[in-house]
Structure 1
């Protein structure tokens, strides 16, 4: 993805440190979406979607997942590793939101933001749009490795678990629904290496500044994977 020039940190300072110095608000808690409070706040799951600019793939995944999971009390938000901060979703991405039947008002209100450590720390599941974003998340917070997947990787691994197997995994933990969800994620993660695939098959193509056909391809790769995310979440928290 080719990005416009961005101001950056001085030598010897990380981008995250520079961002925090410029805007201390990034240290604040992750903003809440208006979700249906079907569970106490301490038990609400949080899913973070990540791409590069945070204007195409990750907000599309966010909006479509919010449509499916917010009624269950699941919070979904997104960020970008090199976000076009403050920018909205391009017309082509907004069209995909409409085609997916999601709330266009939510998509229109989206503004890109940088990925920062508190967002990762707060998330029960991090879904990245490509392997490079997964690497960036894990580099930022190595402890997030077991709960960070590319979206298509997660769908591929989850598809090898039946709903009954996922439910059994959830029932091995008698704690909160966040604990049950973590148990199911471990079962999904255990499929790594067992169900190999060409590495590029785990990426959602980046459509930024490309044709509508490329946007359509990106959406076609992204949208079916969300069904597996929804299935695993519903199975884990019920």
Structure 2
């Protein structure tokens, strides 16, 4: 059975489908990646500006359909990556048992970036992610009391510059996560 990652933003048309697309292209088939929104634009595709950024980087964005997150999706995910701390709170409010496997994307990146090489051992990305999440959570106390910007900016309805900023925040956050899986 694959390790499942659920990425969650608001409308499920900008940030979470971008993370879904990038993770699917990066991780091996032992990991299943999906996305959903807390207030999804159900049935919509990826917003054209975000789709253009993905396409420019060589990632297809066609065929995507936005969907509303459900408690069943949250329960079924081994890792839930929220795009803001408000999304994380929304998820944990609806499914309190998900608290130990729900982080913001940027929080996981920050925590993974402090791990020693080899902290996520395994022979597949599923095994390495299964090791990475608890190792990253053990890093939380070291970051307590400090101010962190763990949100990815919401570009919806804003300028192309804001879309690029949001996309760059996602791309930058994925680097330490993937490095932790590959070390």
Q: TM-score, normalised by structure 2?
A: 0.90
**Structure-2 residue corresponding to 1:63:** 21
1:48 and 1:148 map into 2 onto residues whose CA distance is 9
Q: Which structure 1 residue ranges, 5 or more long, are not aligned?
A: 1-41
Are residues 1:77 and 2:31 paired?
no
Structure showing greater relative contact order (alpha-carbon pairs closer than 8 Å, 6 or more residues apart): 2
The farther-off stretch of 60-69 and 180-189 is 180-189
| Number of positions where the alignment pairs a residue of Structure 1 with one of Structure 2 | 182
Alpha-carbon distance change, 180 to 205 in structure 1, aligned in 2, over 3 angstroms: closer
2:76 and 2:3 map into 1 onto residues whose CA distance is 9
Q: Secondary structure in 2 aligned to 1:82?
A: coil
> Cα offset for 1:227?
2.2
2:154 and 2:16 map into 1 onto residues whose CA distance is 10
Is the 1:64–1:100 contact (alpha carbons within 8 Å) kept by the matching residues of 2? no
2:155 is aligned, of 207, 230, 237, to 207
Is the 2:4–2:76 contact (alpha carbons within 8 Å) kept by the matching residues of 1? yes
Which structure would you say has the larger Rg?
1
**Structure-2 residue corresponding to 1:162:** 116
2:76 and 2:180 map into 1 onto residues whose CA distance is 19
Is the 1:124–1:147 contact (alpha carbons within 8 Å) kept by the matching residues of 2? yes
Equivalent positions of 1:1-238 (< 5 A) are 42=1, 44-69=2-27, 71-102=28-59, 104=60, 107-167=61-121, 181-196=129-144, 197-199=146-148, 201-234=149-182
Is the 1:124–1:178 contact (alpha carbons within 8 Å) kept by the matching residues of 2? no
Alpha-carbon distance change, 182 to 165 in structure 1, aligned in 2, over 3 angstroms: closer
Is the 1:80–1:115 contact (alpha carbons within 8 Å) kept by the matching residues of 2? yes
Is the 2:106–2:151 contact (alpha carbons within 8 Å) kept by the matching residues of 1? yes
1:89 and 1:97 map into 2 onto residues whose CA distance is 10
> Cα offset for 1:64?
0.8
CA RMSD of aligned residues (A): 2.1
1:75 and 1:188 map into 2 onto residues whose CA distance is 20
